[in-house]
Amino acid sequence: MNNDELLKQAEVVLAGNDRGDFTVPAEGYSHQWLWDSCFIAIGRRHGDTARAQKEILSLLRGQWANGMLPNIIFSDKDEHRRDRNLWRSWLSPFAPDDVATSGITQPPMLAEAVVRIGEKLSSPERRTWYQTVFPALLAYHQWLYAERDPHQEGLVLQIHPWETGLDNTPPWIRELHEHQLPSWIGLVGKTHLDKIINHFRRDIHYKVPGERLSTIDGLAFYSMQRRLRRKSYDIDKILSHSLLVIEDLSFNSIFIRANQQLRSIAKAIGKPLPPELDERMTKTEAALDQLWDAYSAQYYSRNFVTHKLIKEPSIAALLPLYAGSITKERAEQLVTMLRDENQFGSAYPVPSVPLNSAWFKPHGYWQGPTWLNTNWLIIDGLKRYGYTAEADTLTQTTLEMVAASGCYEYFSPTDATPAGAPNFSWTAALMIDLLQAVPGQATPSTASQLEKHSVSQH
Ligand code: GLC
């Protein structure tokens, strides 16, 4: 398949998942997801910039009066009442009146998507675009500091694994098992009721048993979600009772980059950031250092309550490259992990947990597979640190996986076999974006041709 055919395939996927003002993550989904839409807009800006802008504006419909951007905006169709009811966003005084949403957020990719769209516009258009979205973006970042950094330490906390977008990532699941699993869930496990419950689960259309969340973990996720709902999503009430609160490494790395992008947007339209926000943004970059463990020479997430690092390696370990705020020496240490065949240097990188982790399963959702979005973040980070050859190679293997099997949700990092949902929107969109940097062929048989081309900087 040549690049034109790949592009066409991606466009067909996105057209199929297009619901007018927004794009669903894949067939079978009905709602809009926050970071999915940001990645989708990053791809769509190439073929149809106006449509990419619409994708972002559509996300802003869901913004709460306190600035929060929810991870899901629900369809208002009658048949989705049950999903809306699960969250009951209307219990919070801050939720919008005319649209039902979740009550938690997702990694702050919005500023990046806004800037990437801006790159495709003329300067006057870009100014207008930035002016349109700036107030919402500013309110979102201010909310993240106000509610999620209560002690003003620089790092922001997350209150549910869904907020990381890496649902069953080992650091969270380990903490969940240690601190949170309610006793009735333990009982379900012991009595093997989970096999029966599995029959009634709704997220199984694309599931091969054992690939997604275990039933026990799924139940724990919903139990945590209900606890947030009972507190009407009031952060003070939530924090006074919860043990599973984590300063997540991937979220904070993305936040650091988002702050840099917010600064550049503000500068471009001549709107100085409030000095307090500016100071806190600077503090976040320095605070990332607190997540570094000198002994194992890597970054980890931290439990907000115990203040202990959660020393469980995952894809998050590499995302400080994307943050761009770490020293060159540290970046080099991360690139060493990326090259290491026992860690992240698999045949089709980058696995969502290192190959030598006890959690590793090639098709285990966020416990092994390679995903396009994390590859995109790492490629971007590698380029900014000057690792052009590594970025090129990773772009090439990423495109090869999709060329061989189609726009699947995720792939085995060892043999590239696809899994999860077919025709997954962010896979298609990010493939479009990666293809812009690599003219030529992207099939395995012609892979060597790709090496002749250099990847241009964004
Ligand atoms: C899953 C993924 C999350 C994504 C959502 C919709 O929950 O873990 O990252 O946003 O599905 O695609």
Mean pLDDT by 10 residues, the chain (458 residues): 93 98 97 98 98 98 98 97 97 98 98 99 98 98 98 98 98 90 67 61 53 83 94 97 92 99 98 98 98 98 97 98 98 98 98 98 97 98 98 98 97 98 98 85 39 33
Report the 10 Å Cβ neighbour count for 452: 7
Measured from the Cα of 71, ligand 1's closest atom is 10
Catalytic residue at 409?
A: yes
Indicate whether residue 165 lines ligand 1 (CB < 6 A).
yes
Which residue, judged by its Cα, is nearest atom 12 of ligand 1?
Answer: 25
Q: How far is the CA of 407 from the centre of ligand 1 (A)?
A: 15
Cβ of residue 163 lying under 6 Å from some atom of ligand 1: no
Of 247, 204, 245, 202, give the one whose Cα is nearest residue 227: 245
Task: State which ligand 1 atom lies nearest to the alpha carbon of 36.
Answer: 10
In the structure encoding, which two tokens stand for residue 143, read together? 């909310």
Confidence at residue 212, expressed as pLDDT on a 0 to 100 scale: 78
Q: End-to-end CA distance of the chain: give it in Å, rounded.
A: 25
| DSSP-assigned letter for residue 180 | I
The whole model's pTM is what? 0.93
Active site residue 167: yes
Residue 15 vs residues 2, 56, 379: alpha-carbon distances, Å: 20, 17, 26
Per-residue model confidence (pLDDT) at position 443: 44
- How many Å lie between the centroid of ligand 1 and the Cα of residue 165? 6
Residue whose C-alpha is closest to residue 322's, from 307, 310, 338: 338
Give the per-residue pLDDT at 253: 99
CA of 128 to the centre of ligand 1 (A): 31
CA nearest neighbour of 399 among 430, 359, 361 = 430
For position 178, what pLDDT does the model report? 87
Look at residues 206, 301, 293 and name the one whose alpha carbon lies nearest to residue 251.
301
Could you tell which of 33, 205, 365 is best to mutate to test the pocket of ligand 1, judged by most ligand atoms within 8 Å of the CB? Answer: 33
